Amino acid sequence: MLYEYTEPILSEQGSKMRDIMADYISVVSHRLPDDVAKKLKELAKIEVDPLQQLVYDTMRENQLLAEKMKRPSCQDTGALQFFVRCGSHFPLLGELNSIFKDAVYRATKEAPLRHNAVQTFDEYNTGLNIGNGIPSVFLDVPDDSDKIEIYVYMAGGGCTLPGAAMVLMPGEGYEGVVRFVMDQMTSYGINACPPLLVGVGVATSVETAAMNSKLALMRTVDSVSPNANAAKMEHLLEDGINNIGLGPQGFGGKKSVMGVNVVNTARHPSTIGVGISTGCWSHRRGKIDFDAELNYELPLNEGVEL
Amino acid sequence: MKTYHLTTPIEDKDIEDIRIGDIVYLDGIMVTCRDVAHRRLVEEKRPLPVDVANKAILHAGPIVKDLGNDKYEMIAVGPTTSMRMEKFEEEFVKQTNVKLVIGKGGMGEGTQRACKNSKALHLVFPAGNAVFAATKVEEIIDAQWKDLGMPETLWVCKVHDFGPLIVSIDTKGDNLFEKNKIEFNKRKEEEIIKINKEVRFIK
Ligand code: SF4
């Protein structure tokens, strides 16, 4: 079977934004964001066993090679996701979906990225790394500014697998949330390539909790929730998961996670929705902010120019 | 933790003394082989178009550049979750006499039996290090079952110093990850009790 794709006809500015996005996607594939790179350096110093050292040395060497050879640092370049906050006066709001899809299409050839879009039920790989709903675009229009903030995320298979959400009864309380997260760590955590970034969402239902947990992965690894109780839970879970002792690649070690981020929204009185998403050590999350003239900033990649 | 250097063809005696937690570096032939290839051999009973006896397979879906004229370049290659192949691996090892099964994370009882009975090892390459691994692939000498698409094709690779490979199941059937898992689960229960004292936010 064949997936039909014709490149869209974009406005002049739309094409410019598409080209910048395609270039940035390549960068995200071969360079970890600053917060993740810094954290990995710290964690490498804490592990003392020769086996763990060997793993961290390999990681360091790999990232140097990827940067030098301009190649994707992990072969699983994920299914692309974009989490977007766009002011209602940003001039290209109406073209965004086409811009993102075409940027992925082009970056896939240029980077090159792996072909990770399999059409469901018909079960064939499109061979283009785009398909129905891939890339996925999650759009929020929070105000009437003319600016846009975009998180680019390459969600690999291994670190997508631990993802889960469920709705608890309030009687199960936040203790139920803890159990849910911790169980997921021992069952699926190892294959998600620890040290992990763990995103926990608390809300009403499965989709709101799951969405929150994914947004939690967009926060930097050392960030702290503005809510005091949620921040306390982040801290407790971080220590708890570290003490399970997964270590890098699950070989055992002092640290299992780079961080735990909780994002919470209000809940229905009768339910507690809980969601979990994990990012692997190779957490390829980028951020690019544009103004109306397409001047851009890359807050997570100091010193990078496209 | 001992370090070994193996070269294909690998004989039983080369790997008999290697134990879980040891490190291996590989020279010779390693074939990428994952979900559908396993299913085709075991369930569809289609013979594998590549002879992997006394050689290595890698559970992986690489990024490969087509240079034309049946020439390919390995751009990025790294292991994928081995557990997905668990359902097929015992039979796969028995039928093919492959000696090294390389992947990510642990495998289960079927593979343990296979490693013990057919003398084979399951090893883990630290995942996510795909450029590092690609630089250890000297040449792609053949590609079979290309109809499966880039990630699932059987890429026959000539490798040099491919590693570090950490032994997760040895020829006695010992299983590193299963041992770790028991310990992880015990610690988890202790941690949950500690945390739950502090999260009674609903009062
Ligand atoms: S979990 Fe992450 S590092 Fe591991 S193989 Fe998948 S994408 Fe790569």
A199 occurs within a structural domain: yes
Helices and strands (H, E) in chain A, number of each type: 8, 11
For residues B113 and B89, give the distance between their C-alpha atoms in angstroms, rounded to a whole number: 10
Q: Domain check: are A152 and A191 in the same one?
A: no
All residues of chain B having their beta carbon less than 8 Å from the beta carbon of residue A229 are: 199, 201
Nearest residue, CB atoms, B132 vs list A51, A61, A72 = A61
Q: Domain check: are A235 and A291 in the same one?
A: no
If one residue of A81, A154, A258, A280 were mutated to test the ligand 1 pocket, choosing by the most ligand atoms within 8 A of its CB, it would be: A280
All residues of chain A having their beta carbon less than 8 Å from the beta carbon of residue B75 are: 71-72, 75, 112
Contact A112, A247 (CB under 8 A): no
Closest CA to B100 of B2, B8, B4, B177: B8
Residue A190 amino acid letter: I
Contact B128, A36 (CB under 8 A): no
Q: Domain check: are A30 and A122 in the same one?
A: yes
pLDDT, tens digit, 9 for 90 and up, residues B16-40: 999 999 999 999 999 999 999 999 9
Q: Domain check: are A28 and A147 in the same one?
A: yes
Q: How many angstroms is it from B79 CA to the middle of ligand 1?
A: 9
Task: Quote the number of domains for chain A.
Answer: 2
Q: Domain check: are A250 and A296 in the same one?
A: no
Q: How many angstroms is it from A10 CA to the middle of ligand 1?
A: 34
Residues 12-51 of A with CB under 8 A from B: 30, 50-51
CA-based nearest residue in chain A for residue B22: A51
For residues B151 and B131, give the distance between their C-alpha atoms in angstroms, rounded to a whole number: 16
Residue-level pLDDT at B24: 98
Angle at the Cα of A282 (from A205 to A20), degrees rounded to 5?
Answer: 90
All residues of chain B having their beta carbon less than 8 Å from the beta carbon of residue A30 are: 131
Q: Is B87 left (phi over 0), alpha (psi -120 to 50) or beta?
A: alpha
A209 occurs within a structural domain: yes
With an 8 Å Cβ cutoff, are A75 and B200 in contact? Answer: no
For residues A97 and A74, give the distance between their C-alpha atoms in angstroms, rounded to a whole number: 26
Contact B119, B69 (CB under 8 A): no
* 3-class secondary-structure state, position A242: helix
First vs last Cα of chain A: how many Å apart? 36
All residues of chain B having their beta carbon less than 8 Å from the beta carbon of residue A76 are: 61, 78, 80, 130
If one residue of A74, A154, A198, A258 were mutated to test the ligand 1 pocket, choosing by the most ligand atoms within 8 A of its CB, it would be: A74
Residues 215-274 of A with CB under 8 A from B: 229, 232-233, 236-237, 239-241, 243-246, 248-252
A2 occurs within a structural domain: no
Atom of ligand 1 nearest to the CA of A283: 2
Tokens representing A279? Answer: 């990012």
Q: Which stretches does DSSP call E strand in chain B?
A: 3-7, 23-32, 56-58, 63-68, 71-76, 100-103, 121-124, 137-144, 154-169
CATH number of the domain to which A250 belongs: 3.30.1330
What are the structural domains, with CATH classification, of chain B? 3-175 (3.20.130.10)
With an 8 Å Cβ cutoff, are B128 and A113 in contact? Answer: no
Across the 306 residues of chain A, what is the mean pLDDT of every consecutive 10-residue run?
Answer: 95 98 97 97 94 95 95 94 98 98 97 92 93 97 98 94 96 97 94 96 98 98 98 98 95 96 98 98 98 98 94
Helix A12-30 to helix A96-110 angle (10° resolution) is 50
A193 touches chain B (CB under 8 A): yes
Nearest residue, CB atoms, A281 vs list B128, B150, B181 = B128
pTM of the model: 0.94
pLDDT, tens digit, 9 for 90 and up, residues A117-164: 999 999 888 999 999 999 999 999 999 999 999 999 998 999 999 999
Q: Domain check: are A12 and A145 in the same one?
A: yes
- Strands A118-119 and A196-203, bridge-based pairing: unpaired
Contact A301, A33 (CB under 8 A): yes
Domain span including residue A287? 8-156+283-306
Q: Which residues pair with B165 in a beta bridge?
A: B24
Atom of ligand 1 nearest to the CA of A77: 7
DSSP B97-149: ---EEEEBS---HHHHHHHHHTT-EEEE--TT-HHHHHTTEEEEEEEE-GGG-
Cβ pairs A/B, distance under 8 A: 178
**CA–CA distances in Å: residue A200 to residues A36, A149, A234, B172, B177:** 18, 22, 9, 40, 26
Residue-level pLDDT at A121: 96
Q: Domain check: are A94 and A140 in the same one?
A: yes
Q: Domain check: are A210 and A95 in the same one?
A: no
Q: Residue A254 has what DSSP assignment?
A: S
Q: Domain check: are A132 and A151 in the same one?
A: yes
The whole-angstrom distance between B63's CA and the closest CA on chain A is: 5
Q: Domain check: are A205 and A306 in the same one?
A: no
If one residue of A56, A80, A159 were mutated to test the ligand 1 pocket, choosing by the most ligand atoms within 8 A of its CB, it would be: A159
Which portions of chain B are predicted below pLDDT 50?
Answer: none
A116 occurs within a structural domain: yes
Catalytically active residues of B, by annotation: 38
Q: Domain check: are A114 and A29 in the same one?
A: yes
CA-based nearest residue in chain A for residue B77: A75
For residues A196 and A272, give the distance between their C-alpha atoms in angstroms, rounded to a whole number: 24
A3 occurs within a structural domain: no
Q: Domain check: are A90 and A203 in the same one?
A: no
